[in-house]
Amino acid sequence: MKPLLTRRQAADHDRDAIAKGIPGVVLMENAARGAADAIVARWPRDIWARPLILGGHGLNGGDGWAVARHLLARGAKSRGVLCGERDRVLGDARINFDAAIALGIPIDSLPLDDASLDGMLEASTLLVDAVFGTGLDRPLSGPALRLVERANASGKPVVALDSPSGIDSDTGAVFGDAIRADLTVTFGALKRGLHQHPGVSHAGQVVVVDLGVPSPSSNAFTLDTSDLRRAPRALDAHKGTAGRVLVIAGSPGKTGAALLAGMGALRTGAGLVTLGARGAARASLDAKVLELMTTEIPEALEAGVSTAIREAASGDAVVLGPGVGTEGVARTFLTRVALEIAVPTVLDADALTAFASAPGALIGCRGPRILTPHPGEAAALLGTDTASVQADRYGAATRLAALAGHVVVLKGARTIIASPDGRLAVCVEGTPALATGGTGDVLSGILAALLVHWDPFEAACQGALLHALAGVHAARGDRGLLAHEVADAVPSVLASAPNA
């Protein structure tokens, strides 16, 4: 797990280091040396032989002028373009600006005519973006926008320092336009915007450079392959001790959701999985199952609620919602059962829709819950639209966890896990091949099986990571993956994970 910082946290971390006696120019020097090392490690000499530094007048520009010096020391013919006025380059940035000029590095200032700028871009072999970094909080305009547009159109390899200029380093949103980097060298710790789209596609490969001070603590962190763990299993384990999961899912025409959730739970290690389907759906499922068991949930409201609660009480975890339906009786059934089941429960699909008008009611649940909305469901629960959720996924997941009082898994590329106590995690693994129907049902089953052994936040983190890695393992390209193949890949992925 690696810390994930907001713009303010990153600035506070730098200020704290300076307050403890580490000069800002030392932090800048460490950043620049690390960035130069990363550039040399990534490309052969002919690519970084003629770097053009695109620098602003602030601290990010100072990082750039120091990088120009370090590459010059390695034999590169560095050159720079200042996006700003020379008399606005102050403090630590000025020290490195003046040093670069004193060493013979030519630095031109905008505005330049198109022919001159394009000529400089054409003559370069590598562009280093040091215009804004994490400091930008407004749309690009004027010379800066023109410089970004020209840089993107140049076709040259691009390195961004700290964050691509034009990216909101808190959310990953684009401020009108943004640098498209092949490599982003970020300083001290990862930034949130580098791990949500579209920031992900603008950042390219991301490398963290040590600034010579301890990494900051944070309530947000990344999840990658190295973080996957499996719950220990005793040598004398049996199906009863491995976990009993009830999947309340499916309706006529939508029994696949129940089957996929059930297989997700079984493949993750649950010992006994029962599919509880309302009415006629149970008979349909009976004809399709082998390893899974079934039980009928009566369609009549009171009988259905009491049966579901009784069946849940004999198990360890529940999945509630996939394919159950959203009509009047089904909706009321889901609402009642979600609130009254005492064992840990994953609320997915129709169970989330049932609370769209009153997500705060979930605070009254009798047991812990994990909510697994896709962006549209999250928007309905928050009373907003999908575009707003996607514009700030960290914020949406955090608000929903606080509103509902339970752990939230906001699905999508770079799935986010949020806890009501403010903890955040983002899964940096995955594949576009997971964008197919039924993979969310598999995730629900995975989460329920893990709820047998982990607390809700840890189960959500491990489940989202396991699901993503199973998708990568099973995929044969970026499309054509079937949901059941994700479930089938889970044991192989778990086999490579160490015990917790």
pLDDT, averaged per 10 consecutive residues of the chain (500 residues), comes to: 95 95 97 98 98 97 98 98 95 98 96 90 98 91 94 97 97 96 98 98 97 92 97 93 96 91 98 93 87 95 97 97 94 97 98 95 97 98 98 98 98 98 98 97 98 97 98 96 98 95
The segment(s) of the chain belonging to CATH 3.40.1190.20 are: 226-495
How many helices (H) and strands (E) in the chain? 19, 19
- Match domain 2-217 to its CATH number in 3.40.225.10, 3.30.1180.10, 3.40.50.10260, 3.40.309.10: 3.40.50.10260
**300 Cβ contact partners less than 8 Å away, ≥ 6 residues apart:** none
Cβ 310 vs Cβ 297: under 8 Å: no
Cβ 385 vs Cβ 359: under 8 Å: no
Residue with tokens 């809700």: 456
Quote the pLDDT of residue 254.
87
For residue 293, what are the β-bridge partners? 274
Cβ 245 vs Cβ 272: under 8 Å: yes
Taking the C-alpha atoms of residue 473 and residue 464, their distance in angstroms, rounded to an integer, is: 14
Cβ 378 vs Cβ 400: under 8 Å: yes
CATH class of 226-495: alpha beta
CB count in 10 Å sphere of residue 157: 20
Helix boundaries (H) for 421-455? 439-451
331-338: Cβ within 8 A, 24+ apart: 332/301, 333/278, 333/301, 333/304, 333/305, 333/308, 335/361, 336/301, 336/305, 337/248, 337/305, 337/308, 337/309, 337/312, 338/362, 338/365, 338/369
CB count in 10 Å sphere of residue 418: 29
The segment(s) of the chain belonging to CATH 3.40.50.10260 are: 2-217
Quote the pLDDT of residue 112.
87
Would the CA dihedral through 482, 485, 486, 487 be positive or negative? positive
For residue 52, what are the β-bridge partners? 79, 127
Quote the pLDDT of residue 279.
84
Taking the C-alpha atoms of residue 265 and residue 289, their distance in angstroms, rounded to an integer, is: 14
